[in-house]
Amino acid sequence: MTLDALIILAGAFVAVLPFLGFPNSWDTVLLFLAGVCTIGLGIAVRRRLPAGKAGSESQTRKSDTFVENLPSHDSSTHDPV
């Protein structure tokens, strides 16, 4: 099972936990343990990233969302529809 799947499973566990009928003290302990596991998995996923990629990707990468909509520099290849 991948780390991403484990994070999703921990989130699903936290979402379902109030409906399982455990006593309040058990709920508190289980929520705490699920939170610690989620934090640990998040740290593990973050360490898998190459150095310099965590959190700074949006600052170094230019946005090219609408590149296909830019006009062509060569007007002889323009084919009217």
Residue 70 has pLDDT above 60, yes or no: no
Residue 14 has pLDDT above 70, yes or no: yes
For residue range 17-62, list pLDDT tens digits in order: 989 998 999 999 999 999 999 899 889 888 888 766 655 555 555 6
Q: Give the model's pLDDT for residue 68.
A: 61
Residue 16 has pLDDT above 80, yes or no: yes
Q: Which two tokens stand for residue 21?
A: 């009928």
Residue 73 has pLDDT above 80, yes or no: no
Contact 57, 16 (CB under 8 A): no
Q: Give the model's pLDDT for residue 3.
A: 84
Q: Give the model's pLDDT for residue 4.
A: 86
